[in-house]
Amino acid sequence: MGDANPSGEQAGMEFLHYFGGVFEPVALLLLLGGTIGGLILGATPGLSPTMAVALLIPFTFHLSATQGLILLGAAYTSTVAGGAVSAILLNIPGAPANIATALDGNEMARKGQGARALQLSFLASGVGGVIGVLLLIFLTPVLAQWALKFGPSHLFWIAILGVTVIGSLDSKSFVKGLLSGCIGLWLSMIGYDEILGTERFIFTDALTGGIHIIPALIGLFAIPQVMEMFSKGRSTANVNAISVPKYSLSQSIKELLDSIRSLSIGTVVGSVIGLIPGVGGQISGLVAYDQARKFSPMREKFGTGHAEGIIAAESANNAMVGPSLIPLLTLSIPGSPTAAVLLGGLLIHGIFPGSDIFDKHPQVVWTFINSMLIGQILMVIFGIYTAAWAARIAKAPAPIMAAGVLVLAVFGSYSVQQSMGDVHIMLVLGIGMFLLEKFGFSAAPLVLGLILGPLAGDYFTNGSMIAAAQNGPWVYFFTGGLNILLISLVSLSIGYSFWNNMLQKRDPVPEKAGQEPGQ
């Protein structure tokens, strides 16, 4: 049977032994339904992967543990990829993980290349997702022990590493990118401190619980676009309706293979971030996007409709899925918010994750993992099949598109907590972002600050409490091999961002070249 700590060879044998369970009629039907449903839910603004999986948990009550996990795993995988649809076509990221996808994806859709952008996003998601699941299959014991070494100090430095990305996300101005990020960090402080219980910047009841990321995400990306559409009126030609040559799947595959550098960066970054408990996949796409941009010889084209940006972001998003389950299955520590919901699905069926789960429940665990591998392939097939059809949404007349986006924005914001307060917050942030964009500010750094603010604050507070009981904050935060490695990465990221900013000031020509249409 199983082994509490299977080696790579043993894992491979058990993986093959239980592979047939995925193709049992009921299991296969649930896998297909979860994949298709996840793509639809992921493409709906406001329905994050966490919410989509949570909505499906009641449907698993009368299923076996294996069947229930297959449904939830398929939804998890495809919802992450499905969020790229609204990010590319509507400039509304389906989840925080799809923010980076919108930066180049929506620009491509505006040029009439929506189908091409969707094909690249699903292909990159499939490659990253398959590699992530293979890591889950063969390296679970080793990676689980490595993930256990991360404490509050290390997680704090990882959050700070994400903060260093803020300035470079705005390709037009490094300083404005930093200012946008600072606004996001301030917004993240609104509400009650979860650890100390102190009140911060609460001037209306709607802000008592702070600013939820989903309404903020919708408001900051969708509302400025809606206002821009309404301001243009009917007389302005719709750029989305430009006729372009049909982009074939073989061309997309070739383009993906030509962008192996960005694909590799996205897969590695997503796998590492997904593995670390508590960090989640919210920043994986943005960090991968930033690193791919730094290592690209055509970094000036990022943000103008460049394929490498989509490939890096989407490969990271789905590469995160498999490794995020490693600490969940072996240590009972969810690696992401969605993994935490999956933990609830396991407990409902009387399965308690731990180091012996592969020994006690091998059929359940291995069939579930196998289904995620097949689910990645099905997600690519269904995603690509619907890409050309979905891309037609971008050709809708601007007034109709604006009205539809506004309805989806209100629905998505309200559905998070069934609160009109979230709708009001979404509208206020959207109007504010519309005004900021007039002065050259960008939404992406602001959202990243909003995401990372609570993470950095909580980890710093937890670390300070531990440090107070040990040798003090300096020793706790600045000593140890892992701390030093992370601090070095933070320093290198900051140094590179300033150096790259100075180069752009000296030679602005590449930025102009990046504005030219066609890649």
User: Model confidence over 280-328: pLDDT tens digits?
Assistant: 566 788 888 988 988 888 888 888 889 999 999 999 988 988 888 887 8
Alpha helices, DSSP H, located in 241-320: 249-258, 260-275, 284-295, 307-319
> What is the rounded CA–CA span in Å between residue 322 and residue 328?
10
User: Model confidence over 344-385: pLDDT tens digits?
Assistant: 888 887 888 876 777 788 888 888 888 989 999 999 999 888
Domain range spanning residue 135?
Answer: 8-514
**Quick check: is 2 in a domain?**
no
Q: How sure is the predictor about 484, in pLDDT bands with cuts at 50, 70 and 90?
A: very high
Classified as helix, coil or strand, 425 is helix
**Quick check: is 3 in a domain?**
no
**Quick check: is 461 in a domain?**
yes
Instruction: State the pLDDT at residue 510.
Output: 45
Q: How sure is the predictor about 489, in pLDDT bands with cuts at 50, 70 and 90?
A: confident
User: Model confidence over 407-463: pLDDT tens digits?
Assistant: 888 887 887 788 888 899 999 999 999 999 888 888 878 888 888 888 788 888 888
Q: Which of 27-41, 65-79, 149-163, 305-319 has the lowest mean pLDDT?
A: 149-163
Instruction: State the pLDDT at residue 8.
Output: 54
Q: Are the CB atoms for 42 and 88 separated by under 8 Å?
A: no
Q: Supply the DSSP symbol for 191.
A: E
Tokens of 474: 């300096």
User: Model confidence over 2-13: pLDDT tens digits?
Assistant: 454 555 556 667
Instruction: State the pLDDT at residue 193.
Output: 75
Q: Are the CB atoms for 283 and 320 separated by under 8 Å?
A: no
Q: Are the CB atoms for 430 and 219 separated by under 8 Å?
A: yes
Classified as helix, coil or strand, 278 is coil
**Quick check: is 519 in a domain?**
no
Instruction: State the chain's maximal CA–CA distance in angstroms.
Output: 69
Total domains in the fold of the chain: 1
User: Model confidence over 499-514: pLDDT tens digits?
Assistant: 766 766 666 544 434 4
pTM recorded for the entire structure: 0.78
> What is the rounded CA–CA span in Å between residue 242 and residue 250?
23
Q: Are the CB atoms for 358 and 60 separated by under 8 Å?
A: no
Tokens of 364: 């359940």
Instruction: State the pLDDT at residue 10.
Output: 63
Instruction: State the pLDDT at residue 207.
Output: 81
DSSP secondary structure string, 78-111? HHHHHHHHHHHHTS--SSGGGHHHHHHHHHHHHT
**Quick check: is 177 in a domain?**
yes
Give the residue with greater pLDDT, 117 vs 147: 117
Instruction: State the pLDDT at residue 431.
Output: 93
**Quick check: is 89 in a domain?**
yes
Best-predicted range by mean pLDDT among 30-34, 78-82, 228-232, 358-362?
30-34
Exposure string of 165-189, with b = 16+ CB inside 10 Å and e = fewer, is bbbbbbbebbebbbbbbbbbbebbe
> What is the rounded CA–CA span in Å between residue 15 and residue 34?
21
